[in-house]
Amino acid sequence: MILHTIVPLQFVFGNFTGQISDARIIEWNNVKLEVLPAGEQKYQINRILSTNPFDYLNPKLQPGTLIRLEPKI
């Protein structure tokens, strides 16, 4: 793929360092999410991994939203 742009590469590709982040894949309310740790039992939604289009319209599942995971008993 060739990309012709005047925009600096940092804006196109971000700060890609090739390192693996602390992202985890979880299932929350029957929806698979990629989340990042944000404290004790709290996670920030990074992206939604679903084939259901209505999951993307749910405001509770927007990227950046903090969710709390309760430990399983």
Q: Is residue 48 part of a domain?
A: yes
For residue 44, the enclosing domain spans: 21-68
Q: What is the pLDDT of residues 49-64, one digit of tens each?
A: 999 999 999 999 999 9
Q: Is residue 1 part of a domain?
A: no
Q: What is the pLDDT of residues 29-47, one digit of tens each?
A: 899 999 999 888 899 999 9
State the pTM of this model.
0.68
Q: Is residue 5 part of a domain?
A: no
- Report the number of distinct structural domains present in the chain: 1
Q: Is the separation of the CB atoms in 32 and 17 below 8 Å? A: no
